[in-house]
Every structure is written in structure tokens, then in C-alpha cells.
Amino acid sequence: MSSFITRAERSGSIFYRITGLIRGGQLKWEDRPMWYDVYAAHPPHHEPIWDAKMPKHGEPVRKILYPEDVERAKQFLENKSRRENVKLGDEE
């Protein structure tokens, strides 16, 4: 196998290929896929691409830190002595 991706996948997203089939008359409007109207009404913010950059084997995963993570950590440390163990089982 010379490539994992065929030429058709490189030419455009499945949405644009289906749109082309509908415009060209090869696919009737009534026979369009169920997801077509949803995708047309709510397209993704970033167009999915076939050559997305993926991390290489052994490459460390980038740490993601949100502002609320810092605030949560502060609250955790401040309230450390006030925490109680909670039993999640049935009360007997």
C-alpha cells in the first residue's frame, strides 16, 4: 500500500464531494445523507483536513492548562483541612 489516503480524500471533504454530486445531478436531493443538513446549518469552525499534524511516536503530549485549573488548585490547597471523606454507598 503506497498511501493510506486516496486521491479522492485529498481533493476535498466529504461534504464538498456530496455537494458536487448533488449539483452535478448524480445524487438526488432527496437521497442526500442524514448528516448533510446538520453540517450545512452548523459547519465546523475549522475545516477538517486529511493531512492534520499528529504527534509522532514517543513525542511528549503537550500540557494543556486552563485558567480555571489554576483557580481550582488554589481552592484545593486553601480548603485542604476542611475536606471530609464522603461515603458514596447506601446509608445503613
CA gap 81, 59 in Å, rounded: 39
- Per the structure, the count of domains in the chain is 1
- Within a domain: 51: yes
Residues 51-64 have a mean pLDDT of 81
Q: Does 19 or 90 have the greater pLDDT score?
A: 19
**DSSP letter assigned to residue 25:** T
Contact (Cβ atoms closer than 8 angstroms) between residue 4 and residue 10? no
What torsion, rounded to 10 degrees, do the Cα atoms 80, 81, 82, 84 define? Answer: 80
Residue 7 pLDDT: 58
Per-residue pLDDT, averaged over 26-34, amounts to 95
Whether the pLDDT of residue 4 is over 90: the answer is no
Instruction: Tell whether 87 is covered by a domain.
Output: no
pTM over 0.75: no
Element (H, E) at 40: helix 35-41
1, pLDDT greater than 80: no
Its domain, for residue 23, covers 7-78
pLDDT tier, 18 (very low <50, low <70, confident <90, very high otherwise): very high
User: What whole-number distance in Å separates Cα of residue 55 and Cα of residue 62?
Assistant: 9
